[in-house]
Structure 1
């Protein structure tokens, strides 16, 4: 569609062929406080170099600055309005890297250390998984099939390993029998012979691979489990990457899911197995995994939570965030300051309110003050 439109512009005005995007107005949206382009094993310079601010197109862009936080709910009383404004200001200070952490924070994390306000942390109780689940998902068993209850809350954490552990514990709490769906894995585009492939990379090895952006080999589901779609299936029906759904039926070769967020809330769809390939992999072959593009999402990584709006967010940091914008993204998912709870562990595993906020301030240099 875009190509045919550009072609018509060329035919009507040949001079447009020399203009970027054929002279068509293109709107780009984004927040440089959020997570920057992901470069596997990339350092700070490589990540900043992949930003659009380093592109030759950046000089011809007209920049519009949006200043109002539309995610925070409107308040009625003056005290609530002041609380929301104070929280919005704190979130922006976190995103800009302008918070002063104090002597103890600077001692632990140098210039990246910050001190989280005590109202968001609970230093009296241990940050055990049980306490955290109980805090973010109160009365979970009674509400395990309540779509509204489930769509309003999530636990966020930096790494996939922690996410998998939390999700498996929460799924075990749901009443009912679990159904495990196993993937069919194959290796393609291997430089050696078929015998070399089978001997070097047996099926058991392929099944053990856990690659970001790919569903697990053994997907354990129950009726009532909340899942997130990992691929765009049908955008006209709201089946997009990041759509949250609840499992309503576990069939032999597919599952029926009900959408619990977005415009198409309440609609039901069958999610089948399909062949999936990692977009970027260091493997010496192309892994093809036939599996349902779903992942359990009671807990999710901070990167995956971008775009979500939640009433209750539990930020679990057994280890500090490790790249630009992660802490900002996590705390800016909530619709009210009262819905944010932060669980931070220090080096000894004790609860604390001091953590690391990684901000690459160089990315703001190309933006208007």
Structure 2
């Protein structure tokens, strides 16, 4: 028996007979662009292995976000997001649990930086930067490694796509 279904059975004895144990699951993305990898597979093999072709697709309800209702007719969308998600954040500056229960998803690092900067402006006190020692791991270097190409400034300028920081 699958462990996930066993856990779900505590509240719902029929969960082992329902898809995902009766839990609501949200799939995101464009399934035409996010295809499974099938080694040496043909186009037909890949399409047949996609979520749209799965037996589960019959149980899926497709919803499309057309309007971000939180931001309709708002002059300051970033401020609106911050005030909605972090309503009392100035009262909870020293409370890590407050921040662990909240998050903002962002499509780009630029939006994350904008939100971080706006929140930092609202905090009292002097801003401090804590720097790390950034370098290339010695075990990853080969004989042709040029240490001058990978300065700390260069390493700190790299932004990894797909990872939000807030």
TM-score of the pair, normalised by structure 1: 0.27
Contact 1:143/1:149 (<8 A) preserved: yes
In the alignment, structure 1 residue 49 sits paired with structure 2 residue 42:
no
1:71 corresponds to: none
Number of residue pairs aligned between Structure 1 and Structure 2: 129
CA contact (8 A) 2:85 2:102 kept: yes
Q: Displacement, 1:192?
A: 4.3
8 Å contact from structure 2 (residues 71, 77) kept in 1:
no
- Tell whether 2:132 aligns with 1:183: yes
Question: CA separation of 1:125/1:203 partners in 2, compared to 1, >3 Å: closer, same or farther?
Answer: closer
Give the unaligned 5+ runs of structure 1.
1-24, 37-42, 55-64, 66-94, 100-112, 215-294, 301-369
Give the structure 2 partner of residue 115 of structure 1: 66
Instruction: Find out whether 1:138 has 2:87 as its counterpart.
Output: yes
Q: CA deviation at 1:151?
A: 4.0
Decide whether the 8 Å contact of 1:141 with 1:175 is kept in 2: no
Q: Distance in 2 between matches of 1:185 and 1:146?
A: 29
Q: Which moved more, 1:176-185 or 1:138-147?
A: 138-147
Matches of 2:162 and 2:71, distance apart in 1:
33
1:168 to partner: Cα distance = 3.0
Of the two structures, which has the highest relative contact order with CA contacts closer than 8 Å and spacing of 6 or more?
A: 1
Residues 27 and 140 (structure 1 numbering): CA distance in 2 closer, same or farther, change over 3 Å? Answer: closer
Matched residue, 1:169: 118
- 1:129 pairs, out of 78, 103, 118, with 78
Residue 79 of structure 2 aligns to a residue in which SS?
Answer: helix
Contact 2:135 / 2:151 at 8 angstroms: preserved in 1?
no
CA distance in 2: counterparts of 1:178 and 1:97, whole angstroms:
47
More helix by share: 2
Cα distance between partner residues in 1 of 2:93 and 2:3: 41
Distance in 1, matches of 2:128 and 2:156, equals: 18
Listed one character per residue, the Cα deviations across residues 314-355 of structure 1 (whole Å, up to 9, x for unaligned) are xxxxxxxxxxxxxxxxxxxxxxxxxxxxxxxxxxxxxxxxxx
SS in 1 for 2:105: strand
Please state whether the residue corresponding to 1:44 is helix, strand or coil. Answer: coil
Pair 1:165–1:122, CA change in 2 (3 A): closer
- Unpaired runs of 5+ in structure 2? 6-19, 39-47, 50-55
Distance change >3 Å, CA 128–CA 191, structure 1 → 2:
same
**Alignment check: 8 A CA contact 1:185 1:203 kept:** yes
The residue number in structure 2 matching 1:206 is 155
**Deviation (angstroms), 1:26:** 5.5
CA–CA distance in structure 2, aligned partners of residues 96 and 137 of structure 1: 32
Q: Give me the CA root mean square deviation.
A: 4.2
